[in-house]
Structure 1
Amino acid sequence: MAVADSYVDYLKAFELAETGSKPAAFQLLAESLRLQPHNLAASRLAFRLLTEQRANTALRLQGHTGVMTSASYSPDGTRILTTSTDHTARVWDSRTGLQLAPSLDHDDEVVSGTFSRDGQRIATGTDGGKIAIWDASTGKRLVSSMELLGSAWSVSFSPDGKIIAAASEAGKVRTWDAATGKPLFPLIEYHESAYSVSFSTDGRLLLIATGDDYADLRDSRTGKRTLRLPRRNSIFSAQFSPDDKRVVTACADSTAEIWDAHSGAPTAVIMNHGFGVGSAEFNSDASLIVTASRDHTARIWNANNGKLMVSPLQHPAVVGRASFSPDSRLVATIAGDKAVRLWDTLSGDQIQLPVVTPDGSPNFSFSPDGSSLLIAGGSSGWVLDLPPNDEAPSWLANLLDFASTSNNFDQARKPDLVRMEAVRVQLNSSKTNDPWTLFGKWYFADITQRPISPWSHVTLESYVNLLIAKGDRSSLEYAKALSRPFPSWLAKVNSSLVKLPPEQPYSSRSVTK
């Protein structure tokens, strides 16, 4: 009974948090965790709400003047790559949010980008079909002679970094020698769009999702077809399993299907939706698949038998993409309401409020270690710390009670300062470094010494100084918003702002070709 009551309290808390009644949500989450400390949905939501209450900020990526079209981490997680309609791609420090190299300037909107597996190079594709390779550290253009008709929706390095492949909305696919930019075989042409191209883990095969009603497997060096995986409508996505033994496809005919990657035979695992399926992805050990559909749901399936693992993840709009976190404990989704949502894989519960982005279609990427979620929307990106997967400590319920009293409109409820001081002393004297203890220490730290978010190592003051040193208008405006409680910081920011020249409209911006 306690488990059921705990879950009901969590559901009520989520609803209240969505409507802005966060003090009441904190109270219900405290009750939920006292009834069931292992209610991960409740503890994860508590983490997100407490983080927002304590630090109304996050690591931001600011500098693009157009809409971001993609965002991803480097393989080691230390850098972030973004592409934009402002004709640039940019590389950022994932710990500070500062741009590392000069902007990678193009003569057209940049629609795709990726790091090589060793993180040393970057490939980008433009709306005009031009592919370029760059030094990821210096921003120097290394190869720029590669062209593909149509918008280059997908670019990919082979695992050894020797080949670059690209696919376009005009139905063209090609590979090049990544060192010289010379084509490896004649252009592959489809009647409809080529939605994506990727390599097998050994680099020998290309997998192409096409609008010609099939997924195509080809030799990556010769372009010769090895297999064709047919359906009755457009294949929007195709992905190898981590061991290359299977392929999962997402189709406009309302299905996702698993195939034997060596024989091309269907495995009889078909996953059905009510409308077209836009993406289908394996988790890290290929035991699960998550699909995203126009029927307003994402669904989590057993990859061996095609059975649903939890109830469909309901959204208020078309779901464009769904992906697992590296440890498979979470699923992130993008829907047509411009919101990114985060779900528990085992229960199907939503564990944080939707993150609504301002413009364009949002993008997301989990960090390789699974500690954060990168979200890009409009011209900005930001990094959200992800909650611990461990059972909530007993003090978390007390902290939620305390947080619920931080409401200027309800003077009847007074904070229990004695209990909170005991919790603070307990945490600060603890020698353990488990995630919840680290979070608790962060929560009680002085604002001038506290990192900007629980898993960050950059203090708020250091972050403001980094933004001031960067010196562009968007960085200084963000620094100003963060500095309002601190007159001396605010004076430094305003001093830098008044030295800036007047803003120029984007149309007058010169672009390096």
Structure 2
Amino acid sequence: MVEPAVPAAGSGADADDPLNVLRRELGALHLHAGNPSLRRIANKIGAGVISHTTIGAVLRCSKVPGWGQLELVVECLGGDVEMFRGWWKAAVVVGRTGAPATGTGTDGISAGGLVDDLPVEGRAFPTTAFPTSVDGTGWIPAVASPVDEQALADADRLDLISAQETRTHPRRDGTQQEADQLRASVMELRLQNSALRAEVENRERRIGQLLEVVHEHWPVDGICLTGHGGAVWSVAFSPDGQLLASGSDDGTVRLWDPATGAPTGRPLIGHDDEVGSVVFSRDGRLLASAGFDGSMRLWNPTTGAPVGRPLVGHDGAVWSVVFSPDGQQLASAGYDGSVRLWDPATGAQVGQPLIGHHGAVGSVGFSPDGRLLASGGFDGKVRLWDPVTGSPAGRPLIGHDGAVRSVVFSPNGRLLASGGFDGKVRLWMPDTSTAITRPLIGHHYTVMSVVFSPNGRLLASGGLDSRVRFWDSGSGAQLAQPVSGHSGPVRSVVFSPDGRLLASGSDDQSVRLRSARHLGVEPRFIG
């Protein structure tokens, strides 16, 4: 038989007392969770953490419980911890300041009561998470009581003090006590981290604003990053935009600070030949490079140290490498005509090579949801694969009059762009394997790289004509004038994650960084 956890709440002004509000919401939460027994709740929380009698006292709420105990119960029942923390704090404030639970305060408002005429923005605690009836919705208004800011600050400190007092109390043995102490320290860290995150976000916004001013004063052709001793084949931004990686004919990978253009750390040395592709994992913890020596290498971008052994399996140069969105797979392609999948955690190859192209494969790219893998081949075809089964997904995309050198999905996955030796850029619908516009014509020679802006509205392409061109991904129309600045073919282009910068790598051994404001494209296309 299930013990009744909560007695019926009072009515009238008494029902509006913060403690009664907390008691009522606990009852609704307990009911919503299926009225589990107190022993069942205790077992779910964990043996020895909190007794079933204490859980009963928390749910009956005859007095304000300790926050540590209340948090455990609310989490176990699947409630909104932050919402209950607000109700608990209101009850603590009223209790500590001596504010009357009912009656009228000096301002003519029911002290500690519910203010029914407050506007929506003044109502502090939404009840939609656990309605008290099947179709019940609405808001619990803010608790009005004659308390000052100091009392609220005291309640904030009580959060932590109560948690420490209730969770560090010695229980059955030293192991349990240590666990409770760790739990209290975790809670304290959560509170600290919440404040730190807000401060970090504020500072990052300010940094972005300041850098935008700096970038506006860069030359129209951007700033030139030099240091490589050979052509730059590939450039890639880290997910947070704090690093820019480049891979070169000189066999090295270099890291740069895109805010200043200064090199970061020493060159990453390991490949015995040209580096044809670099890419960051989505969480930014790994950097992968592919070399003409037939290997791929993983690096820690923070320290520059290699991670694990080289990934070897291709017969010949590896021209393209890319992480899956979840970081669980790494795809590669190259001269031997195969597409291969790897486990970056172990360096082991996953499944059999994906075979379908007749000739070398110049580029691979995952869709944003990770369900498709695209490959562009020297046979002029773009192929789609299921990366889980390794099977082809749909028909080959045929339209290029020569080798396909670059493929990339749009940020929403609805479009796929490709560039090739025929100097054309094409847009496809991967779901139907059909082209959606006529070829985008403007480059005079091979298109080596295509990339979408962060919002997907703009497509940039870099080619052997030393130009970077811009296209409306919706209509296929060319936007603005092509940008130059390089004295040799452009082999790679990429937007920063926030869209404020465009980086390009060239045979002139340099990387160029340009402010998006100097591209001559309307801001709505970059966003």
- Could you tell me the TM-score, scaled by structure 2's length? 0.50
Spell out the pairing of 1:300-339 with structure 2 (5 A cutoff). 300-315=427-442, 316-339=444-467
Equivalent AA in structure 2 for residue 285 of structure 1: N
The 5 Å alignment of 1:99-498 reads 112-131=234-253, 142=265, 146-178=269-301, 179=303, 181-227=305-351, 228-230=353-355, 231-272=357-398, 273-315=400-442, 316-357=444-485, 359-362=487-490, 363-370=492-499, 382=514, 383-387=518-522
Change over 3 Å in CA distance of 1:127–1:375 after alignment to 2: closer
Contact 2:372 2:386 in 1 (8 A): yes
8 Å Cα contact 2:258/2:513 also seen in 1: no
Paired with 1:135 and 1:347, the residues of 2 have a C-alpha distance of 35
Q: 1:110 to 1:372 in 2, by over 3 A?
A: closer
Q: 1:75 to 1:155 in 2, by over 3 A?
A: farther
Deviation at 1:307, TM superposition (A): 1.1
Please give the alpha-carbon distance, in whole angstroms, between the structure 2 residues aligned to 1:238 and 1:343.
21
SS at match of 1:275: coil
- SS of 2:350's partner is strand
Please give the alpha-carbon distance, in whole angstroms, between the structure 2 residues aligned to 1:107 and 1:275: 30
**Aligned mates of 2:382, 2:432 — CA distance in 1:** 13
- Structure 2 CA distance for aligned equivalents of residues 283 and 266 of structure 1: 20
Change (3 A) 1:305 1:96: same
Aligned with 1:269: secondary structure? Answer: coil
The Cα of 1:293 is off from its aligned counterpart by 1.9
Contact 2:241 / 2:496 at 8 angstroms: preserved in 1? no
Deviation per CA, 1:388-424: give whole Å up to 9, x if none.
559xxxxxxxxxxxxxxxxxxxxxxxxxxxxxxxxxx
Matched position secondary structure for 2:462: strand
Q: After superposition, give the CA deviation of every residue in 1:248-298 in whole Å (9 maximum; x if it has no partner).
A: 110000100111121111112311122111111111111111111222321
C-alpha contact 1:78 1:94 (8 A) present in aligned 2: no
CA shift, 1:371, in A, is 6.5
User: How far apart are the structure 2 equivalents of 1:220 and 1:364?
Assistant: 25
1:290 and 1:298 in contact (8 A); partners too: yes
Counterpart secondary structure, 1:295: coil
* 1:216 CA drift (Å): 1.1
Contact in 1 for aligned 2:410/2:452 (Cα 8 Å): yes
Q: How far apart in 2 are the matches of 1:376 and 1:126? A: 9
Where structure 2 has 5 or more consecutive residues not aligned to the other structure, the ranges are 1-203
1:123 Cα deviation after fit: 4.2
Residue deviations 1:462-487 (CA, integer Å, cap 9, x gap): xxxxxxxxxxxxxxxxxxxxxxxxxx
- The aligned residue for residue 68 of structure 1 is none
Kindly state the Cα deviation for residue 124 of structure 1 after the two structures are TM-superposed.
4.5
Distance 1:198 1:376, change over 3 A: closer
Tell me, in whole angstroms, the C-alpha distance in 2 between the residues paired with 1:110 and 1:182. Answer: 21
SS of structure 2 residue aligned to 1:94: helix
Q: Using a 3 Å threshold, how does the CA distance of structure 1 residues 260 and 104 change in structure 2: closer, same or farther?
A: same
One-letter amino acid of the structure 2 residue matched with residue 184 of structure 1: G
Once the two structures are superposed, what CA deviation does each residue of 1:204-228 show, in whole Å capped at 9, x if it has no partner? 2111121111111100021211142
2:421 counterpart letter in structure 1? R
The 8 Å contact of residues 269 and 303 in structure 1, kept in 2 or not, is answered as no
Mapped to 2, the partners of 1:285 and 1:366 lie a distance apart of 16
Letter matched to residue 428 of structure 2: W
Mean Cα displacement is larger for which, 187-196 or 256-265? Answer: 187-196
Distance 2:467 2:500 in 1: 20
Distance 1:305 1:222, change over 3 A: same
* 2-structure distance, mates of 1:318, 1:101: 25
What root-mean-square deviation, in Å, do the aligned CA atoms of Structure 1 and Structure 2 show? 4.0
Closer, same or farther in 2 for the Cα pair 1:358/1:224, shift >3 Å? closer
Please give the per-residue CA displacement for 1:100-140, whole angstroms capped at 9, x wherever unaligned: 99978567776545443334455444433234557778957
Are the structure 2 counterparts of residues 369 and 144 from structure 1 closer, same or farther at C-alpha, using a change threshold of 3 Å? closer
Superposed CA offset, 1:41-63 (max 9, x none)? xxxxxxxxxxxxxxxxxxxxxxx
The answer to whether the 8 A contact 1:167-1:194 is kept is yes
Whole-angstrom CA distance in 2 between matches of 1:353 and 1:389 = 17
- Corresponding residue for 1:483? none
Higher relative contact order (CA 8 A, sep 6+): 1
TM-score (ref. length: structure 1): 0.52
Cα distance in 1, alignment partners of residues 225 and 503 from structure 2? 20
Give the partner amino acid of 2:519: L
Q: Which residue identity lines up with residue 360 of structure 2 in the other structure?
A: S
Deviations 1:183-236 (A, max 9, x none): 412441532211122212222211112111111110002121114221221110
Q: Deviations over 1:315-367 (max 9, x none)?
A: 34333233323222232223443333222223222233344555211354445
- Judge conservation of contact 2:223–2:513 (CA < 8 Å) in 1: no
Contact 1:78 1:93 in 2 (8 A): no
Distance 2:276 2:300 in 1: 19
Q: Distance in 1 between matches of 2:255 and 2:505?
A: 23
The separation in 2 between residues aligned to 1:142 and 1:374, in whole angstroms, is 19
Q: How many matched pairs?
A: 308
Q: Take 1:210 and 1:77, find their aligned partners in 2: how far apart are those partners?
A: 40
State the one-letter code of the partner of 1:302. M
On the 8 A contact 2:483/2:519 being kept in 1, the answer is no
Residue correspondence of structure 1 range 54-69 to structure 2 within 5 A: none
CA distance in 2, matches of 1:320, 1:269: 24
SS of corresponding position for 2:340: strand
Residues 366 and 372 of structure 1 are in contact (CA less than 8 Å); yes or no, is this contact kept in structure 2? Answer: yes
CA distance in 2, matches of 1:279, 1:78: 31
Determine which structure has more spread, i.e. the larger CA radius of gyration. 2
Q: What amino acid is aligned across from residue 94 of structure 1 in structure 2?
A: H
